Amino acid sequence: MGWWHIRQAVRAMHQGGVIAYPTEAVWGLGCDPFNEAAVYRLLAIKRRPVAKGLILVASSVEQIQPLLDNLAPEDRTRVTASWPGPVTWVLPDPDNLIPYWIKGNHASVAVRVSDHYQVKNLCEAFGSMIVSTSANYSNRDAARDKLKVSIHFKDKVDAIVPGELGELSRPTKIYRLDSDQPVRS
């Protein structure tokens, strides 16, 4: 299962590090979303502007419950019915629970409760949601194998969690509450 790798990755994130790990469709880069220096380091690695915002991933609805508390009951039901699973939702953050370095130029935040075993293990061991952004440089294809991650990011990240990608052929769909059509499909 690689618990040693999970523990190493969690330790790295608690110390402000950036990690690489397999997700549902592509390899991801992650860190503690509440550690500003770690997030800016991740953004520098990806060459991604903070204004774009980042996705957060959790292992359970409980880890993101405060973001659900402001939703209308029917919206909460719609969102939670898709989790755990490969669906990302853009949720309002009227109480500013999530820092600007995650939301970018948005008043909302993109979150997912994953059913991918390594993502779940990471979030559970970390005790919180983590950043989930594709392991690639901006405007480049995301890494779909560990070799590409090692070639491009080995010297830039603090831990690489081994494992297999999920069964998706492309990154998770992203939905907004005000539409049935995905923002990203």
pLDDT per residue as tens digits for the range 42-56: 999 999 999 999 999
Judged on CB neighbours under 10 Å (0-12, 13-18, 19+), 113 is buried
Residues in contact with 155: Cβ distance below 8 Å, sequence separation at least 6, in sequence order: none
Mean pLDDT, range 171-175, rounded to an integer: 90
Domain map of the chain by residue range? 3-176
User: How far is residue 34 from each of residues 56, 73, 97, 167, measured CA to CA in Å?
Assistant: 11, 28, 10, 30
Angstrom distance (rounded) from CA 1 to CA 87: 25
Angstrom distance (rounded) from CA 100 to CA 10: 23
Q: Would the pLDDT of 140 be above 90?
A: no
More confident residue, 98 or 144: 98
pLDDT per residue as tens digits for the range 85-128: 999 999 999 999 999 999 999 999 999 999 999 999 999 999 99
Tokens of 85: 């699973």
Residues in contact with 159: Cβ distance below 8 Å, sequence separation at least 6, in sequence order: 5, 8, 9, 11, 12, 17, 19, 20
List the Cα angle 38/129/60 in 5-degree steps: 170
Pick the CATH number of 3-176 from 3.50.50.60, 3.90.870.10, 2.160.10.10, 3.30.565.10: 3.90.870.10
Q: How is residue 52 annotated by DSSP?
A: G
Question: Which SS3 state, helix, strand or coil, does residue 160 take?
Answer: strand
Mean pLDDT, range 3-15, rounded to an integer: 95
By the 8 A CB rule, do 123 and 59 touch? yes
